[in-house]
Structure 1
Amino acid sequence: MNVISPEKITAFRTFMQEHDFFYIIGHKEPDGDCIASCLGLKAIAEHYKKPYQLLSAGPFKRIEIQKYEPYFTNEMTFLSENERKKTGLLICDCSEFHRLGEIDGDLKNLDTFIIDHHKTADCPENAECIIAPDAPAASVLIQLLYENISGTVTKDLAEILFFGLMTDTGFFRFLSSKDADVLTAAARLVQAGADPRKTYDYITSGKSYNTRKLLGIMLNHAEKYLNGRLIVTYETMEDTKKYGQDGRDSDLLYSSLLSVKDVEAVVFARQETDSTCTAGFRSRDSIDVSAIAAKFGGGGHKNASGLSTEGKLDTLIPAIVKEFARVIN
């Protein structure tokens, strides 16, 4: 991971100093990294003694982030035009405005600073950005900014940022030999008070019985494609109605299917409504699933990406398999 350049750190510091109020927001359907990054930016705003508002379109589906939901709202504090001129919009773990979701208020025409780590991220016009596709989590970028601005992180913040880092690295499972500096940053969080064992237990426990039943259904739906190198599974609306939406454990599903011999990529598709689907992709090192997700208007990381699109499973799945066939020979 490349360290954030001194120029970018200076630009961010200047942005914080030049604005009197901040809206802090991440992508809709937040995960642990998104929430931790927002809370890290909150800590930076507090360092500057600047007022702020944490925004999120939600929903807070994941069990491990639900305790943070009261910190966020989807209704923007009203500001006058003169106040908006001195207001900064901080967007983390996302660079596309449409991925912020439905917020009651006007996010447009505000001075904007984006901090993101997705490979498909792009800096919008008139925004300042720190985009680091080689960073495994937005949380580690927020950590570096905080350390450069405020010094050693507090115990509470260390626990939050470590939680975010563990979410996106799969407890370091997705790191490689080039990520030694990420492990060094994680060690600093542990030295500040983060507890790896407690974090692991917190993220992986508390699942409902129905999530285990649903996991079995997903495994039963799984089918091999492309000579066994791709596995695709899916969730129907009937599955969702029967087993619910809370506490899904897609990470365990992906890891289980990726452990199958010769498998290089896994797709999990879900029929969300009668006319819309979502899908998540995971892969081993050689396949860039972000490029495939981008074909359907999605994006993400090289080895972990997703999409949301119009359509039905019986047409979406063959289209996805066709795209994978172009890269799995």
Structure 2
Amino acid sequence: MFELSQEKVQEIRDFIENHNFFFIIGHKEPDGDCITSCLGLAAILDYFGKPYQLLSAGPFKRNEVIRWQEKFSDTMEFQDESERKSTGLFIADCSEIIRLGDIDGDLKGFDTFVIDHHKTSELGDEIKGYVNADAPACAFLVQLFYEALIGPVPSELAKILFFGICTDTGFFRFLTDNSAEVFAAVSRLVADGADPRTTYREINSGKPYSTRKLLGVLLGRAERYLDGRLVVTYETLEDTKKWGLEGRDSDSLYQLMLSAKGVEAVVFLRQDTPTTCTGGFRSQDKIDVSAVAAKFGGGGHKNASGMSCNGKVETLIPQIVKEFARVM
């Protein structure tokens, strides 16, 4: 299922060899999988002796990825027209330019290679790359490319890629089909130096106290819909002002809600500005939340998706509930 074809391995090799410089970028508001996938691609370019710049629009809201923030910039190095023609763009954990966020510079027009695992992703005819929606994490795909191109993963990179896979799989809680192949791959990372105990602590410890207080607010505000199968909660502008954006921990919210008897899907909305919202959707096995997210300009995986759109929480909730009624 996950074995890379020789044609795909050769495609990324040719892409690397045919360019003199690279930009590496993932989606805005990066999570652990996004950041570690970018770092994995950087390690591949280091092996081939190719210069690059790591880009991210940020913000780095998640406590577990802040340690890597200084490696990324939101301002592109200046290039003249001839330099742009010899530059390649790697996009990790995302395939849509719009989801990259605000970068100081023009990302359009570069020869592009995408590595992604989102169900709603697709490659245009002019874009190279590899998208596999069955993959548990983008970092997992980067691991496969590294091993196919270079060989065993060095110890420090093994720790980084293992971290990314663990964040997107909820430390393997969300694995479904093809789990044996995934565990075979991560066992190689452990053999190469990754430490599950340390990684779990890095992901789950050190949360700001304010996030625990906010979690209580969100749990208290949660309401059930569709005979209790759907739970919806939200964060207001006042909540954000009071509790801040540091160390967001929506993952704990989803886990607690989905563990409640009878709950099959969870929606978390945040009022980002007076006229815009972001939302996160999570579900149990059979509910495809990516279909709902797509209705609001978002996307993602079958059981984990997100969206950003214009609107207010109080008007979006009934619209979202209506769409969930179609898939539940």
State the Cα deviation string for residues 88-113 of structure 1 (Å, max 9, x = none). 00000000000011111111111100
Once the two structures are TM-superposed, the CA of residue 3 in structure 1 deviates from its matched residue by 2.1
What letter corresponds to residue 27 of structure 1 in structure 2? H
Give the distance between the partners of 1:179 and 1:294, measured in 2 at CA.
27
Inter-partner Cα distance in structure 2 for 1:163 and 1:178: 20
- Aligned partner letter, 2:57: A
Matched to 2:278, the amino acid is: T
Give the deviation of 1:5 after TM superposition.
2.1
Equivalent in the alignment of 1:161: 161
Q: Please report how far the alpha carbon of residue 169 of structure 1 lies from its aligned counterpart in structure 2 after TM superposition.
A: 0.3
User: Is 1:94 aligned to 2:94, yes or no?
Assistant: yes
**1:162-205 deviation line (CA, Å, top 9, x unaligned):** 01000100000000242211111100000000000000001101
Question: Residue in 2 aligned with 1:73?
Answer: 73
Moved segments of 4+, more than 4 Å: none
User: Which runs of structure 2 are paired with 1:176-187 in the superposition (5 Å)?
Assistant: 176-187=176-187
Greater Cα offset, 118-127 or 41-50: 118-127
Higher alpha-carbon deviation: 170-179 or 111-120: 170-179
Distance 1:208 1:108 in 2: 38
- How many percent of aligned residue pairs carry the same amino acid? 63
SS in 1 for 2:242: helix
Q: Report the AA paired with residue 260 of structure 2.
A: V
Partners of 1:169 and 1:5 in 2: CA distance: 24
Please state whether the residue corresponding to 1:3 is helix, strand or coil.
coil
1:12 is aligned to 2:12: yes
One-letter amino acid of the structure 2 residue matched with residue 20 of structure 1: N
Distance 1:177 1:312 in 2: 37
The one-letter amino acid of 2:165's match is L
For residue 42 of structure 1, what is the aligned residue in structure 2?
Answer: 42
Aligned AA (1:290): S
The AA in structure 2 aligned to 1:264 is E
Q: Take 1:12 and 1:310, find their aligned partners in 2: how far apart are those partners? A: 37
Aligned to 2:236: 236
Aligned length in residues? 328
In the alignment, the residues of structure 1 paired with residue 239 and residue 262 of structure 2 have an alpha-carbon distance, to the nearest angstrom, of 29
Separation (CA, whole Å) in 1 of partners of 2:209 and 2:75: 34
How well do the aligned residues superpose, as a CA RMSD in angstroms? Answer: 0.8
**Paired AA for residue 43 in structure 2:** A
Q: Distance in 2 between matches of 1:237 and 1:180?
A: 44
**Corresponding residue number in structure 1 for 2:172:** 172
Calculate the TM-score normalised by the size of structure 2. Answer: 0.99
Give the secondary structure class of the aligned counterpart of 1:268: strand
Structure 1: stretches of 5+ with no match in the other structure: none
TM-score, scaled relative to structure 1: 0.98
Query: Corresponding residue for 2:205?
Result: 205
Match in the other structure for 1:117: 117
Deviations 1:126-179 (A, max 9, x none): 110200000010000000000011110100100000010001000000002422
SS at match of 2:217: helix
For the 8 Å contact 1:95–1:124, the answer to whether it is kept is: no
Instruction: Give the counterpart letter for 1:75 in structure 2.
Output: T
The superposition leaves residues 212-242 of structure 1 with CA deviations (integer Å, 9 ceiling, x where unpaired) of: 0100000001101000100111111111111
| Alignment correspondent of 1:55 | 55
Residue 232 of structure 1: SS of its match in structure 2?
Answer: strand
Per the alignment, residue 303 of structure 2 pairs with: 303
Q: CA deviation at 1:327?
A: 1.6
* 1:6 Cα deviation after fit: 1.9
In 1: Cα distance, 2:224 partner to 2:145 partner:
44
Distance in 2 separating the partners of 1:112 and 1:177: 30
Alignment of 1:321 onto 2:321? yes
Supply the distance in 2 between the matched residues of 1:3 and 1:232 (Cα, whole angstroms): 39
CA distance in 1, matches of 2:326, 2:211: 34
The SS at the match of 2:79 is coil
Q: Which residue of 2 aligns with 1:290?
A: 290
1:107 is matched with: 107
Secondary structure of 1:271's counterpart equals strand
Q: Which residue number corresponds to residue 254 of structure 1? A: 254
Cα separation, 2, equivalents of 1:49 and 1:219: 50
